[in-house]
Amino acid sequence: MNALVLRIVCGLLFLGMVLGVVTHPPKDLTQGLGMMLPATMLLGVALKGPKGRSAIPKKRAPPVSGGTPGV
């Protein structure tokens, strides 16, 4: 539940930053790049969650069989 609340809050903060950029565009490139770093961090937490785990589970590779154990 706590992770869900954090994801929602980060998503709303990201949305607020995007709306702020749309209504008041940055004056130069460096200001725009400075605004992108926190926005990408917020978007990453909103999409992946606080621990960085992906919502889509990764497929595990099957164990490799065959060969002789250490000689």
pLDDT tens-digit profile of 15-42?
Answer: 998 898 889 888 888 888 888 888 888 8
- Nearest-10 crossing angle of helices 2-23, 29-48: 160
* Structure tokens given for 15: 């949305």
Residue type, 55: A
DSSP 8-state class, residue 62: P
Counted residue by residue, the chain has a size of 71
pLDDT digits (tens, 9 = 90+) for 9-22: 989 999 998 898 88
Q: Could you give the residue ranges of the DSSP H alpha helices within the chain? A: 2-23, 29-48
The per-residue pLDDT for 15 is 92
